[in-house]
Each structure stands twice: as C-alpha cells, then as structure tokens.
C-alpha cells in the first residue's frame, strides 16, 4: 500500500466543519467571529508512553484523548485535529483498528481530522488539536488566588496503578484492576467540564503528569502556594493496596487526564450543580495560599514529604 492509499483509506473522512480538509498542502479553517483559536500538540511514543504491543484501537483513542484533555483544561470546544504518524510498517489491520479508535472518540466530540503527515519510522503518534473559545474566556493556569478552593474531577491514581500492575510492581484485585486498566487505556477527556467551568474557575490544568506536578504548574504561573489534604483526594478504591505505591500513584502518578482547577469559595454551589449535571464527581482537596509550593497533610502522617512530584521525561 502506498503512503497516499494509506492516507486515503484510513484517514480521509468528510470534514464539513473545515473549508478544506485532507488532500491539499494545508487545511483551511475558519474561526468564528468573536472566538479565539486554541491549539495544542501531544505526542505518544512507543516505549515511552505505551508498550509496543498496545491494542491499536485503544491507542487511537488515547492519542486523541490526551489532546482533547488539553483543550478541556482551556475551556475550549474541540473542532479540528491533525495527525502525524511514524509507522514501522503499513500494517492494514493495525491501521484499521487504530483509525477506528481514533474516529470513535473524534465523532463523540465533533472533531474533524483535517490533515497530518505519514512517514516510516519508530512508532510515534502525534496529534495537534485545535478548538475555539470565546475571546478572553479561556481557562489559564495563571488565575489562582489565595483563598481559592482547589478541586479535582473524577478519581486520581487509577491510571498509574494500572500501569504498576502491568509492570508487575503490584498485584491488583480483579475489580480494582479492571477500573485501573480502563483509566490507563481509555481516559475520558473532561471536555464538557472544561466548558462548564469557563465562568466559574479561576485557573485549570489537566492532570497528565501527576497531581502535584500539575498543580505545581498552576502555583508557579499564579505565584501562589497550596495546602492539600491527602485524605480528601478522591481515589474510589481501597487504600489497603500497597500503601507507599498507592500514595505515589495518587499524588504523583500520571495519565489520569482529570482536571484540577481553582475557584473562589462563593462558587461552591455552582460547582456542585455542575458535578450533578455531568454525573462527574468534583471534589475539593485543599486551598490556595500565599507563598509558594504545595504542602500535603494527612491525618495519619501529618505533613507528608514527597520525593518525586510527577513524571518528567528529562529529570
């Protein structure tokens, strides 16, 4: 199969939301009046982000999901994506399943694939996602203020526990394993939540590298500190599992793709209403304070000392 047949067969779909989609030297897009274009890129590399034998359908899902998550954290409506693929071979079965996973999630969120690049090489999947947000309304990392509550969506630590299980670092009981592996392989980007938070949150970020690392980015950009209560962090699973690993996964484990956001205390009831409407738990885990850095306390240990705050490719 030629490169062009491959693009035509697996990655060319109707794109009614674009002026011009796949097939020319560039796509042409129109951003609606009064909107800003939000653009973000995330890359998944075999051996770094996933195991080489990972299920291609789930990879297709995750490649797009991690990008949707970034737009969710900005409060933007996802509209278009480009896909850069480096493939060791043109394996039609693999491509069929990968593109099915990719387009299933794309369709769910109304995202159109408008271009990309395809080359031979080590397996690497990179998406650039584009979306729209009303002028001045994007959620940034820089808006947190002392006194604001810190919130997180969903449950934390599941994806990292799932990975620990796959790597043989722990043995999860059946029911916990199922939910942790689902979190790892099929993260659900919190797009609707991001949109709902536009006029509520003072700052937001998606949790891709671990709670403390990503909350740390909010603190840096907002020139503030934080106090977090470990016991309040939603985990949804028995803490009995290997205590140090559990703590590590909850505080520093990556790949959850939940949102962490801040809002003033006056917004609590509005946020609780959003949680109810979306059927998504939103939990207050601490507050923003003056100063810098994050202090984590638990009833059992008092102030917790944390060695690594999250995943860093070059640390």
Interacting residues with Mg ion (CB under 5 A) = 117
SS3 track for the chain = CCHHHHHHHHHCCCCCCCCECECECCCECCCCCCEEEEEEEEEEEECCCECCCCCHHHHHHHHHHHHHHHHHHHCCEEEEEEEEEEECCCCHHHHHHHHHHHHHHHHHCCCEEEEEEEEECCCEEEEEEEEEEECCCCCCHHHCCCCCEEEEECCCCHHHHHHHHHCCCCCCCHHHHHHHHHHHHCCCCCHHHHHHCCCCCCEEEECCCCHHHHHHHHHHHHCCEEEEEHHHCCCCCCCCCCHHHHHHHHHHCCCCCCEEEEECHHHHHHHHHHHHHHCCCEEEEEEEECCCEEEEEECCCEEECCCCCCCCCCC
When asked if residue 196 is in the footprint of ligand ADP (CB under 6 A), the reply is no
**Euclidean distance between CA atoms 154 and 311, whole angstroms:** 20
Position 7 contacts ligand ADP (CB under 6 A): yes
With CB under 5 to 8 Å by kind, the binding choice for 249 among Mg ion, ligand ADP, none is: none
Residue 125 binds ligand ADP (CB under 6 A): no
Residue 311 in marked binding region: yes
Give the shortest CB-95-to-Mg ion separation in angstroms: 17
**How many Å apart are CA 16 and CA 253, to the nearest integer?**
39
> Residue holding tokens 């982000």?
49
Hey, which residues between 45 and 84 contact ligand ADP (CB under 6 A)? 83
- Rule CB under 6 A: say whether 14 interacts with ligand ADP: no
Contact of residue 113 among Mg ion, ligand ADP, none (CB under 5-8 Å per partner type):
ligand ADP
Assess 216 for contact with ligand ADP (CB under 6 A).
Answer: no
Q: State the binding string over 99-118 for ligand ADP (x if CB under 6 A, else -).
A: --------------x-xxxx
231 known member of a binding site: no
CB of 7 to ligand ADP, least distance (A): 5
Min dist CB 106 to ligand ADP, Å, is: 11
For ligand ADP, the closer of residues 76 and 125 by Cβ is 125
Q: Which stretch binds ligand ADP (CB under 6 A): 22-30, 31-39, 43-51, 151-159?
A: 22-30
| Paired strand residues for 304 | 296
Q: Which does 116 bind (CB under 5 to 8 A by kind): ligand ADP, Mg ion, none?
A: ligand ADP
Residues in the annotated binding site:
25, 40-42, 49, 70, 116-117, 141, 206, 208-209, 255, 311
Residues in the annotated binding site for substrate:
49, 255, 311
Instruction: List interacting residues with ligand ADP (CB under 6 A).
Output: 7, 11, 22-25, 83, 85, 113, 115-118
Residues in the annotated binding site for ATP:
116-117, 141, 208
Residues in the annotated binding site for Mg(2+):
25, 40-42, 70, 117, 206, 209
């Amino acid at each position: 199969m030629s490169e062009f047949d491959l693009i035509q067969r697996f990655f060319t779909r109707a794109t009614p939301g674009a002026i011009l989609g796949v097939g020319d030297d560039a796509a042409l897009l129109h951003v609606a009046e009064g909107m800003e274009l939000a653009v973000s890129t995330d890359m998944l590399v075999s051996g770094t982000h996933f195991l080489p034998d990972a299920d291609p359908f789930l990879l297709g899902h995750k490649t797009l999901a991690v990008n949707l998550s970034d737009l969710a954290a900005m409060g933007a409506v996802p509209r278009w994506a480009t896909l850069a693929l480096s493939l060791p071979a043109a394996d039609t079965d693999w491509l069929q399943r990968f593109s099915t996973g990719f387009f299933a999630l794309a369709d769910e969120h109304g995202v159109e694939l408008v271009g990309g690049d395809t080359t031979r090489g080590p397996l690497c999947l990179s998406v650039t996602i584009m979306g729209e947000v009303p002028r001045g309304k994007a959620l940034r990392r820089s808006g947190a203020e002392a006194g604001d509550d810190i919130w997180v969506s969903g449950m934390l630590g599941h994806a990292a526990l799932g990975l620990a299980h796959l790597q043989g670092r722990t043995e999860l009981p059946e029911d916990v394993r199922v939910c942790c592996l689902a979190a790892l392989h099929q993260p659900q980007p919190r797009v609707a939540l991001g949109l709902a938070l536009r006029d509520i949150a003072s700052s937001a970020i998606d949790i891709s590298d671990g709670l403390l690392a990503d909350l740390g980015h909010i603190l840096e950009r907002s020139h503030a500190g934080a106090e977090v209560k470990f016991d309040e962090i939603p985990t949804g699973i028995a803490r009995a599992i290997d205590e140090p690993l559990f703590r590590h996964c909850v505080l520093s484990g990556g790949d959850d793709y939940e949102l962490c956001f801040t809002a003033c205390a006056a917004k609590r009831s509005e946020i609780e209403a959003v949680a109810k409407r979306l059927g998504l738990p939103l939990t207050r885990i601490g507050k923003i304070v003056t100063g810098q850095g994050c202090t984590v306390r638990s009833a059992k240990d008092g102030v917790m000392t944390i060695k690594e705050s999250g995943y860093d490719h070059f640390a």
